[in-house]
Amino acid sequence: MIDLVQQFWLRCEEAEPVFSADEIRWTPTEQFDLLCGHGLLKEAARATWAICDACGDGHTEEVMLISRGAPGSLMPFIPCPEVGGVPIEPERLRRWAPDLDLTARKLRETLGLVGGLSPLWPGRVWGLGRRHVAGRFRDFFLVCGGARPDAHVLLARCHQIADAPSPVILVPTRSPQQKQWPAFRLADIAAITEEGMTLDMDYIADAVPRDVYAGTAKTIATFPVGEDPTWEDLRLTVRENGIFAELRNEQKELSLDDLQFTGGDDRLWQLLRAFARFGGETPARSTSASSRDTGTFRKQVSDLRQRLNTVFPIAGEPIRALHGKGAYRCVFKIRLDRRDGFPIRPERWEDCQFVELRDGRIQISVKSTEVFAARSKDEETQRLTAIEAGEREVTRSEQYDLRTLGLAADSGVPTAEGSVLLEFLRNGGKLYRRGDDKDVLRFRKRLQTWMGMDSDPLQFTPNRRLWTARFECGSLRRQTEPK
Ligand SMILES: [Zn+2]
């Protein structure tokens, strides 16, 4: 007898995964009943070809339907050169096929994955969801036919695998050509029993590359999203040290820790804040600086997507790429909490400072006078009584990646406008260019939009062809790089 469960996994790798009735005859009935009972094996369209069992030659012929006896009753026949017309038992034409979509769903269930189940390449590759394994969150994928000749397009078609920080690949029996990720053979680690499908999770946990910080990893918070949530329904208000999330009737405060951001310096946190600052969409790049994209910014956006997908188990993409604009837009609503930090609308450009940091990010600081409520102590009663308005000067700063500002290609190479900014910063606020220089004019417009100011951030001295910034400029990078 042939092990039908092993055959089931082998068949899942094939372009046309079906079992003929002749094959099923040689497998244990209990295994057949088990797979059919779980729905993993489903009856498929009847065969249109059959093997001749009349002459011993084993030739395959197309099935013909011939009326015989009672009108309207059609019997399947195949032609045999030796015997002539050979009647075929209709039962022999039945076929069964693995239900790959259901297999993907069962894997997701048994692994207890969160996040959306998404067919990335119909019939071949599924994003199953994610869970915490061996110290970190990992995305699980089911890849069928990963060793077939057309599988070299796998990564191009399913960029989600390359974008995932720690993908785990499940395959029926054959590992994909792309060997950089751990792949697990379901034929080895899955068991199908009366109860359903189970996986040897310990084996997976032992075999995946371990996170060095495994011991300290905290559990990430999740937001109760309810029934059929959509990203459009989610509203995020970004505060100094966390976010306030609302979805229909649910509300929750989430701290940086809850969101697994390492602190104010965390790149993903800064990216999320940038989205908030720009109303949910990063500024477009007006010129493309480089056609060779290394995709590192795309990777950052993808990491943020994954983080959001984990905190908010909602199907679909929370952030979409705006193709051709080099920008990204949040599907959910996001804004900064106006009571809490940026953006303070500066009154004058002279109150703003732009500094290029050593790691290439741009720090934007704004000085302003803040009115605050102050209590004064009553001298006699020692009680806090009067509430008076006080004034104090505050400086608020934020750091932005040039790419987030739409001033560099994904590879980090500055665009023409990005170069204008860097020249100002590295040259003490001076730039020698013509008065009608398109890049400078576009940069000026962009600055006004960012800071919400109508007044001109730049001055032009025609006889010297000199542009001067009215805001303070600086660069920490210039001083450390040898010229
Ligand atoms: Zn024959």
What residues pair up with 132 in beta bridges, in sequence order?
Answer: 137
Structural domain ending residue among the three candidates 61, 83, 98: 98
What is the pLDDT confidence band of residue 256, given thresholds at 50, 70 and 90? confident
Q: Is residue 342 part of a domain?
A: no
Å from CA of 89 to ligand 1 middle: 15
What is the pLDDT confidence band of residue 108, given thresholds at 50, 70 and 90? very high
Give yes or no for a contact between 432 and 299, defined as CB atoms under 8 angstroms apart. no
Count the Cβ atoms, other than its own, within 10 Å of residue 358. 11
Average pLDDT over all residues of the chain: 84
Asked if residue 281 and residue 360 are part of one domain, the reply reads: no
Å from CA of 57 to ligand 1 middle: 6
What residues pair up with 196 in beta bridges, in sequence order?
Answer: 193
What pLDDT score was predicted for residue 291?
Answer: 44
Å from CA of 3 to ligand 1 middle: 29
Å from CA of 51 to ligand 1 middle: 8
Examine the pLDDT at 459 and tell me if it is beyond 50: yes
What is the pLDDT confidence band of residue 211, given thresholds at 50, 70 and 90? low
Structural domain ending residue among the three candidates 82, 98, 114: 98
What is the pLDDT confidence band of residue 200, given thresholds at 50, 70 and 90? confident
The whole-number average pLDDT for the span 184-207 is 88
Asked if residue 471 and residue 353 are part of one domain, the reply reads: yes
Examine the pLDDT at 382 and tell me if it is beyond 70: no
Contacts for 48-52 with beta carbons within 8 Å, 24 or more apart? 50/76, 50/78, 50/88, 50/92, 50/93, 51/22, 52/78, 52/80, 52/83, 52/86
Å from CA of 70 to ligand 1 middle: 26
Of the given ranges (180-184, 188-192, 349-353, 431-435), which has the lowest mean pLDDT? 180-184
**Sign of the alpha-carbon dihedral angle for 391, 392, 393, 394:** negative
Asked if residue 286 and residue 196 are part of one domain, the reply reads: no
Asked if residue 13 and residue 81 are part of one domain, the reply reads: yes
What is the pLDDT confidence band of residue 219, given thresholds at 50, 70 and 90? low
**Would you state the structure tokens that stand for residue 114, as one six-digit string?**
């969160």
In sequence order, the 6+-apart residues with CB closer than 8 A to the CB of 76 are: 50, 63, 64, 65, 66, 87, 88, 90, 93
Helices 438-451 + 416-426 axis angle, to 10: 80
Closest CA to 357 of 270, 275, 293, 432: 270
Examine the pLDDT at 388 and tell me if it is beyond 80: no
Å from CA of 77 to ligand 1 middle: 11
What is the residue range of 205's domain? 100-216
What is the percent of the chain where pLDDT is above 70?
Answer: 87
What pLDDT score was predicted for residue 383?
Answer: 59
Judged on CB neighbours under 10 Å (0-12, 13-18, 19+), 202 is exposed
What is the percent of the chain where pLDDT is above 90?
Answer: 39
Asked if residue 324 and residue 309 are part of one domain, the reply reads: yes
Å from CA of 88 to ligand 1 middle: 12
Highest averaged pLDDT of the listed ranges 56-70, 83-97, 394-408: 83-97
Q: Is residue 315 part of a domain?
A: yes
Å from CA of 43 to ligand 1 middle: 27
Hey, what amino acid is at 432? Y
What pLDDT score was predicted for residue 381?
Answer: 60
Cα–Cα dist 382/404, whole Å: 52
Å from CA of 66 to ligand 1 middle: 17
User: Which residue's entry shows tokens 């208000």?
Assistant: 237
Asked if residue 171 and residue 75 are part of one domain, the reply reads: no
Cα–Cα dist 67/69, whole Å: 7
Asked if residue 431 and residue 358 are part of one domain, the reply reads: yes
User: Which residue's entry shows tokens 């779980």?
Assistant: 38
Neighbours of ion ligand 1 (CB under 5 A): 52, 55, 80
Q: Is residue 383 part of a domain?
A: no
Q: Is residue 380 part of a domain?
A: no
What is the pLDDT confidence band of residue 378, given thresholds at 50, 70 and 90? low
Compare 60 and 179 and report the one with higher pLDDT: 60
The whole-number average pLDDT for the span 181-196 is 89
What pLDDT score was predicted for residue 483?
Answer: 41
Å from CA of 201 to ligand 1 middle: 50
What pLDDT score was predicted for residue 241?
Answer: 82
Q: Which backbone phi and psi does 16 adopt, to 5 degrees? A: -125, 85
Å from CA of 79 to ligand 1 middle: 7
Structural domain ending residue among the three candidates 49, 72, 98: 98
**Sign of the alpha-carbon dihedral angle for 176, 179, 180, 183:** positive
What pLDDT score was predicted for residue 298?
Answer: 78
Before 343, cis peptide (omega within 30)? yes
What pLDDT score was predicted for residue 216?
Answer: 38
Å from CA of 25 to ligand 1 middle: 21
Å from CA of 67 to ligand 1 middle: 21
Of the given ranges (146-150, 184-188, 215-219, 448-452), which has the lowest mean pLDDT? 215-219
What would the 3-class secondary structure string for the chain be? CCCHHHHHHHHHCCCCCCEEHHHHHCCCHHHHHHHHHCCCEEEECCCCEEECCCCCCCCEEECEEEECCCCCCEEEEEEECCCEEEECCHHHHCEEEECHHHHHHHHHHHHCCECCCEEEECCCEEEEEEEEECCEEEEEEEECCCCCHHHHHHHHHCHHHHHCCCEEEEECCCCCCCCCCCEEEHHHHEEEECCEEEECHHHHHHHCCCCCCHHHCCCCCCCCCCCCCCHHHEEEEEECCEEEEEECCEEEEEECCCCCCCCCCCHHHHHHHHHHHCCCECCCCCCCCCCCCCCHHHHHHHHHHHHHHHHCCCCCCCEEEECCCCEEEECCEEEECCCCCCCCCCCCHHHEEEEECCCCCEEEEEEEEEEEEEEEECCCCCCEEEEEEEEEEEEEEEEECCCCCCCECCCCCECHHHHHHHHHHHCCCEEECCCCCHHHHHHHHHHHHHHCCCCCCEEEEHHHCEEEECCEEEECCCCCCCC
Of the given ranges (51-60, 318-327, 383-392), which has the lowest mean pLDDT? 383-392
Å from CA of 44 to ligand 1 middle: 26
Asked if residue 209 and residue 113 are part of one domain, the reply reads: yes
Å from CA of 85 to ligand 1 middle: 9
In sequence order, the 6+-apart residues with CB closer than 8 A to the CB of 216 are: none
The whole-number average pLDDT for the span 122-145 is 90
Å from CA of 2 to ligand 1 middle: 26
Judged on CB neighbours under 10 Å (0-12, 13-18, 19+), 58 is exposed
Q: Is residue 224 part of a domain?
A: no
Q: Is residue 299 part of a domain?
A: yes
Highest averaged pLDDT of the listed ranges 14-23, 151-160, 288-297: 14-23
Å from CA of 63 to ligand 1 middle: 13
Å from CA of 58 to ligand 1 middle: 7
Examine the pLDDT at 294 and tell me if it is beyond 50: no
Examine the pLDDT at 390 and tell me if it is beyond 80: no
Å from CA of 1 to ligand 1 middle: 26
Report the chain's C-alpha Rg in angstroms: 32
What is the pLDDT confidence band of residue 125, given thresholds at 50, 70 and 90? very high
User: Which residue's entry shows tokens 């040039």?
Assistant: 402
What pLDDT score was predicted for residue 314?
Answer: 84
Asked if residue 469 and residue 362 are part of one domain, the reply reads: yes
Examine the pLDDT at 217 and tell me if it is beyond 50: no
Cα–Cα dist 391/393, whole Å: 7
Q: Which backbone phi and psi does 431 adopt, to 5 degrees? A: -150, 125
Asked if residue 31 and residue 12 are part of one domain, the reply reads: yes
Q: Is residue 355 part of a domain?
A: yes
Q: Is residue 38 part of a domain?
A: yes
Å from CA of 62 to ligand 1 middle: 12
Å from CA of 74 to ligand 1 middle: 21
Asked if residue 199 and residue 260 are part of one domain, the reply reads: no
Asked if residue 324 and residue 363 are part of one domain, the reply reads: no
Å from CA of 445 to ligand 1 middle: 82
What is the pLDDT confidence band of residue 289, given thresholds at 50, 70 and 90? very low
Q: How many domains does the chain have?
A: 4
